[in-house]
Amino acid sequence: MGQQESTVRLRLQRGHEGILYKGGYRVKPGGAQTSKTLKIRVNSDVISINVPDDSLTCGWLLSEAIRTLNSPSPIVAFRTAAKSDILDYLLTLYERSLSPFEDNEELIAVFGELLDQEISCKHFSPIKVVGKGGFSTVIQVRKKDTGLLYAIKTISKDFVRKEIKVAQILTEKDILMRMAHPFIVKLHWAFQTAEKLHLVMDLCPGGELFFHLHNLGRFTEDQARVYFGEILMGLEYLHDNGIIYRDLKPENILLDIDGHIRLTDFGLSKQGIPYNGQTYSFCGSPEYMSPEMLRGQGHGRAVDYYSLGALLYEMLTGLPPFYDSNRSKMYWRVLNEDLPLPSFISKVGRSFLSEILHKDPSRRLGIINGFQDIKSHPWCSKINWSRLYKKKILPPFRPNLRMCNFDPEYTSMELDLDFIKSSPNAYDEEFADFDYSGDGIIKDTPNSLSSIEDLSSISTTTSKSTGVVSASSSHIKIPVIFEEDEEEKPLKLTKMKSTQNKDDTTPVPDYDETFVFTPPKKTLGFSLQALKTKTPRKLIEANPFKSNARQAVRIYPLDNKPSTPQSTEAHDMPTLTLPSYENPEEGQEVNEIPNFDPKH
């Protein structure tokens, strides 16, 4: 398991102190912003788009390509010519910076297709296999109408019937459908054909933690602490909702684009268990099974505490506790041997592992006050749980931008021909409760960045000064995104007197107003908001502001926005279209704006 330092860069890139996030990726403080050109291949033609600086976003690039081409077929996304998983996914996150892309890098335009409303296989273009389980295959796909990337878990109905797994599959769908947590994968749709069941979920382009852990060998305690904390909070959320996970292992922990974890695969989970309740199924992965599970005398939530401890042990040592290639011997060791604790683990770390891996569940850490007992252990004292939940603590590693982060064992597999043939939907009575359609919106946590679920029939405009795409579509609904701060404060806008030249005969549109804007935080970003045509101030568009300095902005209603904004200052101003509010008098400060909620 031991690896040389150079191996670290196989799939993951180390984080460094003093390195800051910009557009979701780390850049050196004070680094110069340089102009570059991106080549966009559109069928047989290539167009060049100049990117003046790295503060511009993937949404700006999409907007510029649409404006430049003026094509009757809608461009909804891009993909890299080099087929980079991470960069392809990044291109679908419209607020992410273009900084990771190189000068003269070639991108390929993805055109949207009009589709039927009912979700089905024909809505997706399969790309490659990215995972495989006992009776399922996970395929990376692109949705044809929006260009967005997802992972589809496909399951054979015949296998499910033969192995009597119908209840297990429906349990997984039910749990995924209910969950909404930053460290648990999100289900978007579930549908079925005559032969297969399909679960459409978030794509986690960082791959499995298992793949990276075995490339790296083992983590330091500080590195493991971040992953441990994120996994714990995901498990805690499950327990709070009456769910015992029962299958925690590195293969079921995925990494998102920034290296944060997502729990997946809930087929073995048990729902509706009271806090001190017991269940008697024998399930799980052998390396992470608790002693009470092996004895078959009933188990409760403490099996998840044990599995969490076993996973931490593997992160710190490179192998699960009591590991043996002979499964019978491994079971015997779990039940009878003392826990081996290597000396390179700190004293407090050894104490923590011995308590959370106690063979007696009634004496195991967590049995009295649940995860609060685990959080309160001295080994966890360095974790700021609030910041960790908000994803403000950078993971020790992030997925490599230029390499595939999925196991070649999966990506070399042939795609499912039945899926490629776009089998029509079909329904079986025993799977009548399987189908599901979410609200079509990716709901991120306050510190994460959003993407648009449906870009069909989108019309766009571009703000030259901000470089952010604007859109008009009644079904687009994306939350306003704030860089996290310890204190939420309202926006403050002060209406200014008009500075239009008296000799200027250019008509001023209705609702044309200029305000001074004071950002309440060091960095404030906006994204697309739900809007309806001819409804003023329903679209929010702006690039992140760089400081707390007062900045002039011009506000237009969506239906009356001029193609060339009037000049109101010596410098170019950002253009904002804000939600409706009471029209203030000149000089009046607006401290609260109705319908402007950064949490929705």
Query: Of the candidates 92, 97, 227, which has an alpha carbon nearest to the alpha carbon of residue 150?
Result: 92
Pair of tokens at residue 563: 């193609």
The H or E element spanning position 420 is helix 417-420
Reduced 3-state DSSP string for 199-249: EEEECCCCCEHHHHHHHHCCCCHHHHHHHHHHHHHHHHHHHHCCCECCCCC
Q: Could you confirm whether 247 is annotated as catalytic?
A: yes
Residue 560 contacts residue 457 (beta carbons within 8 Å) = no
Cα dihedral angle (358, 363, 365, 368), rounded to 10 degrees?
A: 160
Cα dihedral angle (560, 565, 566, 572), rounded to 10 degrees?
A: 150
Cα dihedral angle (285, 288, 293, 299), rounded to 10 degrees?
A: -110
d(CA 577, CA 558): 7
Cα dihedral angle (127, 266, 325, 129), rounded to 10 degrees?
A: 0
Out of 54, 85, 202, 247, pick the active-site residue. 247
- 3 state DSSP class of 285: coil
Q: Is 144 labelled a binding residue?
A: no
d(CA 286, CA 288): 5
Query: Of the candidates 83, 111, 117, 102, which has an alpha carbon nearest to the alpha carbon of residue 37?
Result: 102
Q: Residue ranges for the binding site for ATP?
A: 162
Known binding-site residue numbers: 162
Catalytic residue positions? 247
